[in-house]
Structure 1
């Protein structure tokens, strides 16, 4: 009978390098203890790289750069997919994704409808915080990013240039989605979204 370690290894070989794995990906192969032991052995042999507790990488290797590690965002997305949970970027990451900041955050914070927790990855971390049902009911991802980005900037730090950038971004969002999602935002953010909507309608010749 083939060992659990070999069965796990064969399963992993069916995927491209760079894929992230969790112990529950192999739950049909054996007990959770046996799977963890198998993954641990495969890590010690250099077949896998351990990114964090219970998170493993089937590494892609570069001749010069060595192992190509996934970004924190890629790890967060893999966790959300495993947990079948939604995640919403906050803070500097929301600004970065909208092109409002070139700063790449060293630690990520997400709102989620999954379990709250902190995942340590080397010297960095991914934090999942419970999201309010209100923000999770948003219809458009761009609107959610705009709300989170503006929260990060703060009303008192907002300048006209940033407001114009936000309006430009919202110009590509469906009107119905803006109408729905601006009700989920704080009043001052809702007002910015409403102004963007009015200007969008004017540009489109809607009276």
Structure 2
């Protein structure tokens, strides 16, 4: 019978890129202590990457060498694993919407769960706990608008809303308007004024 580390390696190889490997999902292969020890050994050898406590991913072999799985893929699989909403930070949203030309240097995501740090080879990804209103509409343009406005702050909201309104569809603007009830007053007020102007 193959060794436990080898069986875990074979299991990991069959998983899609960025799929999390957790000790509790491997208990059919051995007891918890043995699984933990095998995972640690594989991580020390570089055959698995320890993302955070109790979560590993398989590194991707390319013709140029080994790389970490795509950050977006890892983030989405971790969000599903933990049952959390995880979205790009406001600075990244503002960049996508053309409100700033600055590209965030650090990888920061907002999460409904606790703040934590993830490691993917040389990359450090920070998950920062955020209030519910900043996590609205993950993956939708009007959710990006909310996060961008939160990042810009109260002084920039009114000037930035005109730029955002030109980039959002009528449906997205209607959804942003419908979300006013959960937004802070310093965002909801200017959004209401935008809606009133048509």
Normalised-by-shorter TM-score class: 0.7 to 0.9
Unaligned runs of 5+ in 1: 203-207
User: Is residue 43 of structure 1 aligned with residue 43 of structure 2?
Assistant: yes
Q: 1:189 aligns to what?
A: 187
Q: 1:9 aligns to what?
A: 9
Alignment of 1:33-112 (within 5 A): 33-64=33-64, 66-102=65-101, 103-112=103-112
Alignment partners' CA distance in 1, 2:162 and 2:100: 15
Q: Is the 8 A contact 2:60 2:69 kept in 1?
A: no
Q: Is the 8 A contact 2:109 2:128 kept in 1?
A: yes
Q: Is the 8 A contact 1:88 1:111 kept in 2?
A: yes
What is the TM-score when the length of structure 2 is the normalising length?
0.75
Deviations 1:4-40 (A, max 9, x none): 3233222112124x33423244244333322221222
Unaligned runs of 5+ in 2: none
Alignment partners' CA distance in 2, 1:71 and 1:92: 20
What is the TM-score when the length of structure 1 is the normalising length?
0.72
Deviations 1:93-146 (A, max 9, x none): 33234343341341414131x3x13124256341231534x566x467433321
Alignment partners' CA distance in 2, 1:168 and 1:28: 54
* Deviation of the 1:83 alpha carbon: 0.7
Q: 2:126 aligns to what?
A: 126
Aligned CA distance change for structure 1 residues 159 and 179 (closer, same or farther; 3 Å)? closer
CA RMSD of aligned residues (A): 3.1
Q: Which moved more, 1:26-35 or 1:177-186?
A: 26-35
Alignment partners' CA distance in 2, 1:12 and 1:125: 22
Aligned CA distance change for structure 1 residues 163 and 15 (closer, same or farther; 3 Å)? same
Aligned CA distance change for structure 1 residues 99 and 58 (closer, same or farther; 3 Å)? farther
Aligned CA distance change for structure 1 residues 135 and 101 (closer, same or farther; 3 Å)? closer
